[in-house]
Amino acid sequence: MTTIKRFEDLECWKEARDLVRLVYTFTHKSNFKSDFELKNQIKRSVVSIMANIAEGFHRNSNKDFMRFLDYSRSSIAETMSHCYVALDQNYIDNNDMQKVKFQSDLVWKKLNNFINYLNNNVKNKQNL
């Protein structure tokens, strides 16, 4: 297994970046632009997913890193909730919602797998 030296190499971060691109595409639509509050909230929550992965990567322990990965998962839930508001307000359509659901699920799964990997690493070190 190769050693990851930069957060940009993490699969969960790459997929989170794709989710950010997707959400930003929605917020540039003309009917979404006028709702400044929702637009800003959804952009902050989706960017937080990436940011917490990057910040956690540079923490001193796997335990700290896992905490930031968990924050990222919480930000996914927040982003999805905001997307439902956007759907209900007809800022995005069902097709857009399906895209964001798919990408969010992908990021969620990558985060969960990575957290499990790190958690096993922590447990193995404790058993030495």
**Would you say residue 15 lies in a domain?**
yes
Give the per-residue pLDDT at 121: 76
Taking only the tens of pLDDT, the chain with its 128 residues reads: 567 889 999 999 999 999 999 999 999 988 888 899 999 999 999 999 999 999 999 998 889 999 999 999 999 999 999 999 999 999 999 999 999 999 999 999 999 999 999 988 766 665 44
Give the per-residue pLDDT at 123: 64
CA-to-CA distance for 56 and 63, rounded, in angstroms? 9
Give the per-residue pLDDT at 50: 97
What is the total count of domains within the chain? Answer: 1
Q: Based on C-alpha coordinates, what's the Rg of the chain?
A: 16
Sequence-distant (6+) residues with CB within 8 A of 92 are 26, 29, 32, 83, 86, 100
**Would you say residue 126 lies in a domain?**
no
Instruction: Give the tokens for residue 124.
Output: 């193995």
Give the per-residue pLDDT at 88: 97
Give the per-residue pLDDT at 126: 59
**Would you say residue 93 lies in a domain?**
yes
**Would you say residue 3 lies in a domain?**
no
**Would you say residue 115 lies in a domain?**
yes
**Would you say residue 85 lies in a domain?**
yes
**Would you say residue 2 lies in a domain?**
no
Give the per-residue pLDDT at 2: 64
Query: By residue range, what is the domain housing residue 58?
Result: 9-120
Give the per-residue pLDDT at 128: 43
Q: Which of 52, 66, 49 is nearest to 115 (CA)?
A: 66
CA-to-CA distance for 49 and 78, rounded, in angstroms? 10
What CATH number is associated with residue 82? Answer: 1.20.1440.60
**Would you say residue 1 lies in a domain?**
no
